[in-house]
Amino acid sequence: MRKSLILGAVLMIGFALTAKAQNEFSSDIFQTSNGDLKITFIGHGTLMFTFGGKIIHIDPYSRVADYSRLPKADLILITHEHRDHFNPDVISMIKKENTEIILTKKCAEEVEGIIMKNGDVKTVMGLKIEAIPAYNIVHMRRENMPYHPKGDGNGYIITFGDKRVYVAGDTENIPEMKALKDIDIAFLPMNLPYTMSPEMVADAAKSFKPKILYPYHYGRTDTSKIVELMKGAKGIEVRIRDLS
């Protein structure tokens, strides 16, 4: 009996410590023409922005956070339908009565929201949001189908005051990405075989030249490789955060 009680206490302590660790996320703050933008690095492909008193969740995913302990969303953006990006249970948990949800057509089959297709531009809650294509051109499944077909997924450019933030979603270094302009902060995925290698990320970043580059959704990829590849790229700062 005593052993059982001790074991139970240890498990409870372990659970509490795990839950606490899940909420100890790092963040960076950027000054914009309309106030501070705080970016919180949740993990994987998941981010949280705080701006103008609003909370914006990007691809909330239950395996990287205890969402019962995170702020509820004013705005949620979903890049595509894969379950590590589109988690309907978490969306239900963090949405409020007036929460706006931006998503793709496939995601809208399960969750009601504002559908954006590639190329769409909308203003939602005072924020300009642009839907950028996100797809594979090299990496394919065994049946020679792309992991992310063209037209299914979005990346998003969100304008916060005078700052343009690009969250690429699951994609490779596609022409539409390399043609972007005036990006202040970019989140580019770096996990094979589903998205990009460090070399592909470097190719894209050197093409559209974001002021700050965050590799994200990088799994077990060695982030030192992108740092090395970007040495000498003028005007681009590479920042590594825990977004594995």
pLDDT band at 10 (very low <50, low <70, confident <90, very high): very low
User: Residue 6's pLDDT band (boundaries 50, 70, 90)?
Assistant: very low
Q: What is the model's pLDDT at position 237? A: 98
Contact 211, 236 (CB under 8 A): yes
CA of residue 146 relative to chain centroid, distance: 20
Question: What is the bridge-based pairing of β-strands 153-160 and 127-134?
Answer: antiparallel
182, two tokens: 């005036």
Where does the pLDDT of residue 20 fall: very low under 50, low under 70, confident under 90, or very high at 90 and above?
very low
Question: What is the pLDDT of the chain when averaged over all its residues?
Answer: 91
How does pLDDT run across 175-206, given as a tens digit for each residue?
999 999 999 999 999 999 999 999 999 999 99
Domains of the chain: 25-238 (3.60.15.10)
8 A C-beta contact, residue 125 and residue 119 = no
Burial class, 167, CB count within 10 angstroms (exposed 0-12 / middle 13-18 / buried 19+): buried
pLDDT > 70 fraction of the chain, expressed in percent and rounded: 91
For residue 18, pLDDT beyond 90: no
Question: What is the Cα–Cα distance from 221 to 190, expressed in whole angstroms?
Answer: 7
Q: pLDDT class for 141, splitting at 50, 70, 90?
A: confident
132 contacts 139 by C-beta, under 8 angstroms: no
Q: What is the C-alpha to C-alpha distance for residues 121 and 115, in angstroms, rounded to an integer? A: 11
Nearest-angstrom CA–CA distance, 131 and 167: 10
SS3 readout for 154-186? EEEEEEECCEEEEECCCCCCCHHHHCCCCCCEE
Reported as a pLDDT band with limits 50, 70 and 90, residue 143 is confident
* Of 5, 121, 117, 126, residue with least CA distance to 56: 126
**Kind of pairing between the strands at 114-115 and 121-124:** unpaired
Mean pLDDT of 12-25: 45
For residue 13, the surrounding DSSP H or E stretch is helix 2-22
Q: pLDDT, tens digit, for every residue of 40-96?
A: 999 999 999 999 999 999 999 999 999 999 999 999 999 999 999 999 999 999 999
Query: Given this model, what pLDDT does residue 12 score?
Result: 38
Instruction: Answer yes or no: are the C-beta atoms of 203 and 214 closer than 8 Å.
Output: no
